[in-house]
Amino acid sequence: MFKQRNQQLFRLINLKINHPLSAFSASAPIAIKTIPISFSNKQFIRSNSTDPYISYDNSKFYVRRKKTHEEIHEEMINKKLKDPSKMVRLGAYFQTKKFNKNLTKYLVLAYAVFILYGSYHLYGIFIKQKELTNLNNKKYKLNSSFEKDDKGNNLKTYSIKDFEKNLNEYENIRLKELTGKLRERDIPKLNAYKEILKEKETEFYSNPENKNKKFIEHFDATKEFNGFTINNDDLPEYLEYMKRMLPARDTSPFFDDKASSYDSEIGTEEFFLGLGSRRKWLMKNAHGDVLEVASGTGRNIKYLKPTNIDSITYLDSSPKMMNETNKKFREKFPFYKKAAFVVGRAEDLLKLAGNTAENNKIEKVSQSHKVKYDTIIESFGICSHEDPVKSINNMLELLKPGGRLVLLEHGRSTYSSLNNYLDKRAPKRLSTWGCRANLDIGAILDDSGVEIVEEKRHQFGTLWCIVAKRPGDPRRYDELNFYEKYFTNVDDVIKPLK
């Protein structure tokens, strides 16, 4: 550093002495005297590679003046513009006057692009939202019957069959896509429909009359696809997907053998997966008269608050697992009276509850039910039922109007690579834990009669947190999403009819 300064000093001395004006105004020692002043100038030190003076000949005198800050700055930038490093050159370019002059132009251009992109994006959202509203209106059209809830309000009730009748196959699948509930097995069919749509679009634009029209605005799915279905057997990807599903079976004997060691074996895995907080979520949703299906060894009892509920009924198909639930419950709540422990299969739930209606249609059966629940909960049970769709349909029939089915389940992921892994591991998992770990919980729910209110997925989509209800039952205000709360009129869905 010191050596460098000395070199600078030496350069300055030379400069002063050789300068024509120095001979005119002062002798060499005086010129040297000015050196410390030059050094104290911070600008000069910073620009140590530039000559701090500017000299020019104005015919009479040879004039010299100190460079302005701007001039030194510009010289520095010009020097950096010749730097071998691309990044330094780019940095310098951003400091040039030329760039600053153009900056306003660039900003206006960027703003225009932003506005154009934003409008295009908003237009897309608007078109989709319009399509969604039309589909929902069509889905809920007609076919409703009425039923009274606890407070005497008339509620519209539907069955999932009505929805299927109201929408054609394409509309049903498109509705799932628009609401983010498209299942893995639906993808081959959706792709097949997209192919058909592409052909229809080409045909539409080949007509000169449609030159300035937009296909999406003139396409009528009802007219085009009513009475039209695509056979799953014609979709190789669908068939491939179905092959990966293991056959279901009655798992009661398996869990009878597992009952005594179940808690100690599963404990560590649950701890590392952080399932405690999920179980807490499940139990927070339990209120009123509660039924827990496939209660196992009663691992949710830890999170139960009896003050939040009116009664609780436990059901499990394995007598030994039910014994464990009973022991755990009585250890924690020895004097709680409104608890029942039932050994039986979810597939036989209606019989067990004394609701033996022959007709399985929701609106008719509901009149004859004796036992009904405000909340039915289940955790990690669907994967071990012999007939999960029937089990869920039974649960749905035992729900009071306005009641909720709350599920905490594990199953297929949202990532195909993880699904491939789950498919490979499924047989091993079945022999260790008695469950089919690669099931698509969403597809099972779609096949049963429930309407999903909330579907949250965690752990790469393998952990399903579901709140569902009877089709057509009103949603509570807190169950609406932001858009529905503030931008749509969904009154007939939320408020019970007077």
Ligand X SMILES: C[S@@+](CC[C@H](N)C(=O)[O-])C[C@H]1O[C@@H](n2cnc3c(N)ncnc32)[C@H](O)[C@@H]1O
Interaction site with ligand X (CB under 6 A): 251-252, 255, 293-296, 299, 315-318, 321, 345-347, 379-381, 384-386, 391, 435
Residue type, 197: L
Q: How far apart are the first and last CA of the chain?
A: 89
Q: Which residues of 396-406 are buried (b: 16+ CB within 10 A; e: fewer)?
A: bbbbbbbbbbb
Enumerate the β-bridge partners of residue 173. none
Between 345 and 469, CB nearer to ligand X = 345
Rounded distance, CA 282 to CA 454, Å? Answer: 13
Q: Which residue is nearest to ligand X (CB)?
A: 296
Rounded distance, CA 393 to CA 404, Å? Answer: 13
Burial class (CB in 10 A: 0-12, 13-18, 19+), 292: buried
Between 19 and 320, CB nearer to ligand X = 320
Between 326 and 488, CB nearer to ligand X = 326
Between 47 and 251, CB nearer to ligand X = 251
Shortest CB 318 distance to ligand X, Å? 3
Between 188 and 381, CB nearer to ligand X = 381
Going from the C-alpha of 20 to that of each of 9, 57, 58, 467, the distances in angstroms are 19, 12, 14, 92
Shortest CB 442 distance to ligand X, Å? 19
| Nearest CA among 187, 277, 295, 266 for reference residue 458 | 277
Between 347 and 363, CB nearer to ligand X = 347
Three-class SS of residue 306? helix
Rounded distance, CA 450 to CA 163, Å? Answer: 11
| Nearest CA among 105, 64, 145 for reference residue 366 | 145
Shortest CB 278 distance to ligand X, Å? 10
As given in the structure block, the two tokens for residue 257 are 């053998």
Between 375 and 379, CB nearer to ligand X = 379
Shortest CB 295 distance to ligand X, Å? 6
Shortest CB 446 distance to ligand X, Å? 20
Please state the φ and ψ torsions of residue 251, each to the nearest 5 degrees: -100, 5
Shortest CB 431 distance to ligand X, Å? 14
What number of other Cβ atoms are within 10 A of residue 365's Cβ?
19
- Asked if 305 contacts 283 with a C-beta cutoff of 8 angstroms, the reply is yes
Shortest CB 366 distance to ligand X, Å? 22
Three-class SS of residue 56? strand
Name 465's Cβ contacts closer than 8 Å, sequence gap at least 6.
278, 281, 282, 407, 408, 454, 455, 456, 457, 458
Shortest CB 456 distance to ligand X, Å? 17
Shortest CB 305 distance to ligand X, Å? 18
Q: Where are the alpha helices (H) located in 300-414, listed in sequence order?
A: 319-332, 349-352, 362-368, 388-397
Shortest CB 368 distance to ligand X, Å? 23
Between 166 and 251, CB nearer to ligand X = 251
Between 72 and 383, CB nearer to ligand X = 383
Between 148 and 302, CB nearer to ligand X = 302
- What is the distance, to the nearest Å, from the Cα of residue 22 to the centroid of all Cα atoms in its chain? 77
